Amino acid sequence: MSKFDAGMESMLDTFVFESTELLENLDDILMRTESSELTADDIAEIFRVMHTIKGSAAMMGLKNLSELAHAVEDIYFVVRENPELQFDRPKLYELSFKTSDYLKYDIENLADDSVELTDFSEFIPQLHEFAAYLTALSKGEEAAAPAAHHEIFSADEPEGVRTVKITFSDSCMMPSIRAMVLVNSVGADAEVLSTIPPDLEADSADDEIRAQGFIIKLSCDDIDPVIAQLKDGVDVETVEELKRPASQAPKAEPAKPALPAGSSEEGVTTFLIRFEEGCLMPSIRAMVLKNSLNSYGQIVKTVPDDLEKDSAEDEIAKNGFRVEIKTEHAEEALAMLKEGVNVLTADKLEAAKPEAEAEAKPAAEAPKAAQKKDAPAAGGAHGSGSMISVRLEKLDRLLDLVAEIVITESGVTSSPDLREISSGLDRFQKSARELKKLTDELQDVVMSIRMVPVQTAFSKMSRVVRDMNQTLGKNVDLVFVGADTEADKSVVDILGDPLMHIVRNAVDHGIEMPEERAAAGKTERATVTLSAGYESGEVVISCEDNGAGMDPKKLLAKAKKNGILTKPENEYTDSECYELIMSAGFSTNETVTQYSGRGVGMDVVRKNIEKVGGKMYIDSELGKGSKFTIRIPLSLSIIDVLGVEANGAELSVPISSVKEIFRAEPSQLIKDPDGTELVMLREKCLRVIRLADAFELTGERMPLEEGILLYCSEDGREAAIFADALTADQQVVVKPLSILLNKYDLKSKGLSGCSILADGSITLITDINELFIHNGVRQLEAAK
């Protein structure tokens, strides 16, 4: 069985996305405030997060999640109501972080039917307990009111109201949902005034309906069709109309609640609208009414003024919805308002007498003050400005389409048919140029959309380090460098897991315990530095710690013990020793902790990175620390390349690798005794690497002085690349080569990917660093 309600599949993505974002926001707040002050705004924001998750989880039918969120919401409710309260804050944070993790886990695995929803029946009581503790602290204020016992017939119920009681069959899973459906279905024949229980979204609604049945209060002319309709409802067992017992008949006309005063401005009519208790979203209803009122006159003011605010719901439920409108058709407008869905009462308020005004004022100002208080919180939540979120696949599709448009555009404007009409095309040519400019710009914009800063992947690590500091007591500082480096969204997403493993390893294995650090005479704070940057068309992410470092001998001994050595022990270089930790079945930590397991992590990390065409390097110095470097190609990101031709093949060299482009004079060229071609560039003697040879392209060998030489430098290696001709200087989107070509290992031979050019042709992109390594270019001593 699916985990969530059938019919909600279409909402799954949105739910997962929104909830994930909310939870990230929650984590941010928790991290930020844990060691500092928890302000009222933060509490309100956490409350909002939990409230939203509760609501949307309930909508999805994820009862466990909504109950969990509800329990946390209760806690923050108490905290919010008692800002002065002193309480056990570490406990609050522990519970909040735990909740955040639980929610994240379940939401992440929502689409995977093989992972069961977590049962929180043990955790939720803990939350309740804490909420009770908080409540007790706040001077024994009464806990949240228990499920109210609703009187079926209230004393002030007007006559003509019909009461219908519905019971559902025992097998009905979610009677509250069924009840909601019924309420909607009778809308055509009758007006639903209220229901018992009033709030069908409340978690208690299901139990209440099961225990007491579901009661609808209606106003209608003929009850029979309504009852017939209700009987047709799914899972409905009985439907009966209840009659008010004689003794409960209203004794007297109840005193009408005193209406507050309306606006005293001339020509302005003030309406006060109250919605039924069962009305789910009064602010939406209010908005609908406001829109319809627009046709009667000009709306001067509404209270609450911003219906989109979260607080608007509560305010409307409490004070009603107040509209001041300049209209000459006040009566018609009033009639319209009374007809509105879920409207309980709509009244025209008389102009205020001076003394009444004084009374009304503070009342009207109170909600304003409340809104002001809420405003900064809302601002914080939406601080990212006007953003929308789009599915990545849609962007991919858009990018492909734009590329197609660009190709088609050049196909149209340079169509061979046009050549036959050589004259009189001036206006066409002008428009064509305009079109080209626009399509180019379009392509630029679309490409830039996909770029996101690596910050998103980094900031998740703060949480990891925070948790580990808590349990391991290592007080590690996490430092970010270059977090604003942009990479393609998919690359940033891929980085998440490997980074997590590496950071965990750095904190758990790399950084020593404070006592050990002190013993080793290390005075600086334990630090893990995450940095990001670009290098030759790749994103380079590194994680450096100032911990104990790794002992190559120890690694080697361990590897030997575990039998994972592949060549004689004495042939291993230091860097090869470090690489051993990325082999399957390797762990140097004596005790296995919850954070880093038995060495199954690093080999998986390496595999995942290699899967996307990346590489991982490890460097370490005993006693000083270790550095893990990940290089991932800027898959699908834009790089500047020089197009070159070599024996007929179109190749592209990333401009970032090229230092200088020159033509060689015969006097500059040297051939050493082995036949290796060399070129003197000023005082430097460089090896010449013919692209045609490096890529085994057949054809005639062009004399060096006739072609073009690119002086390239990469990671301490330098050489001159020789090509026949320079063809273009362009921006391209790098696409990795198909995984079907993996067995040819083109990447390590110097071909990192390919790109589709504007005319639809394909160019191959070279990786100068790999090309140098593959062709045995030595690294300069200085760079080592």
Partner 1 sequence: MAAIGFDMGQLLTFDCGGQVYAFDLTDVTDIIEVPEITVLPMVADYILGIMNLRGKVVPVMEFAGRMGFPQPEYDEHSCIIVVDCEGALLGIKVPRVIDAEAYEKDQLSPSPVDNSCVRGYIELKERRVTVIDCVRLSEKNR
Interface residue list for partner 1 (CB under 8 A): 399-401, 403-404, 649-650, 695-697, 735, 737-741, 743-744, 746, 749, 751, 754, 756, 760-764
Nearest-approach distance from CB 305 to partner 1, in angstroms: 49
Nearest-approach distance from CB 601 to partner 1, in angstroms: 24
Rama region for 570: left / alpha / beta (φ>0; ψ in -120 to 50; rest): alpha
CA dist., res. 195 & res. 197, Å (int): 6
Instruction: Note whether 285 and 339 are within 8 A (CB).
Output: no
Looking at the DSSP assignment, which residues form a beta bridge with residue 652? Answer: 643, 765
The neighbour count for residue 688, using CB atoms within 10 Å, is 20
Nearest-approach distance from CB 393 to partner 1, in angstroms: 14
Nearest-approach distance from CB 749 to partner 1, in angstroms: 6
Pick from 367, 398, 251: nearest CA to 305: 367
Nearest-approach distance from CB 724 to partner 1, in angstroms: 15
Q: Which is nearer to partner 1, 389 or 738 (CB)?
A: 738
Q: Which is nearer to partner 1, 220 or 398 (CB)?
A: 398
Q: Which is nearer to partner 1, 288 or 697 (CB)?
A: 697
Nearest-approach distance from CB 275 to partner 1, in angstroms: 52
CA–centroid distance for 320 within its chain: 36
Q: Which is nearer to partner 1, 503 or 768 (CB)?
A: 768
Position 487: which residue type? A
Q: Which is nearer to partner 1, 468 or 691 (CB)?
A: 691
CA–centroid distance for 156 within its chain: 50
Q: Which is nearer to partner 1, 228 or 741 (CB)?
A: 741
Q: Which is nearer to partner 1, 356 or 764 (CB)?
A: 764
Q: Which is nearer to partner 1, 599 or 654 (CB)?
A: 654
Q: Which is nearer to partner 1, 531 or 755 (CB)?
A: 755
CA dist., res. 295 & res. 299, Å (int): 10
CA dist., res. 734 & res. 741, Å (int): 16
Nearest-approach distance from CB 696 to partner 1, in angstroms: 5
Q: Helix, strand, coil shares of the chain as percentages rounded to 5?
A: 45, 20, 30
Q: What is the 3-state secondary structure (H, E, C) of 25-46?
A: HHHHHHHHHHCCCCCHHHHHHH
Contacts of 693 (CB under 8 A, 6+ apart): none
Nearest-approach distance from CB 688 to partner 1, in angstroms: 18
Position 289: which residue type? L
Torsion angles phi and psi, residue 402, rounded to 5: -60, -40
Q: Which is nearer to partner 1, 172 or 751 (CB)?
A: 751
CA–centroid distance for 588 within its chain: 36
Q: Which is nearer to partner 1, 445 or 519 (CB)?
A: 445
Q: Which is nearer to partner 1, 499 or 651 (CB)?
A: 651
CA dist., res. 150 & res. 612, Å (int): 61
CA dist., res. 700 & res. 681, Å (int): 25
Instruction: Note whether 330 and 348 are within 8 A (CB).
Output: yes
Nearest-approach distance from CB 742 to partner 1, in angstroms: 8
CA distances to 130, 133, 287, 548, 661 from 284, rounded to whole Å, are 35, 37, 5, 60, 66
CA dist., res. 589 & res. 748, Å (int): 33
Nearest-approach distance from CB 135 to partner 1, in angstroms: 55
Looking at the DSSP assignment, which residues form a beta bridge with residue 640? Answer: 731
Nearest-approach distance from CB 108 to partner 1, in angstroms: 22
Pick from 490, 408, 473: nearest CA to 443: 408
Nearest-approach distance from CB 765 to partner 1, in angstroms: 11
Q: Which is nearer to partner 1, 119 or 700 (CB)?
A: 700
Contacts of 474 (CB under 8 A, 6+ apart): 468, 507, 511, 512, 513, 514, 526
CA distances to 37, 471, 510, 669 from 518, rounded to whole Å, are 31, 20, 15, 59
Pick from 178, 165, 144, 163: nearest CA to 61: 178
Nearest-approach distance from CB 652 to partner 1, in angstroms: 12
Q: Which is nearer to partner 1, 479 or 741 (CB)?
A: 741
Nearest-approach distance from CB 655 to partner 1, in angstroms: 21
CA dist., res. 483 & res. 533, Å (int): 8
Q: Which is nearer to partner 1, 297 or 736 (CB)?
A: 736
CA dist., res. 160 & res. 342, Å (int): 17
CA–centroid distance for 402 within its chain: 26
For tokens 């109501």, name the residue.
Answer: 81
Position 539: which residue type? V
Nearest-approach distance from CB 738 to partner 1, in angstroms: 5
Nearest-approach distance from CB 413 to partner 1, in angstroms: 19
Looking at the DSSP assignment, which residues form a beta bridge with residue 662? Answer: 709
Pick from 72, 31, 714, 759: nearest CA to 439: 759
Q: Which is nearer to partner 1, 676 or 761 (CB)?
A: 761
CA dist., res. 451 & res. 724, Å (int): 35
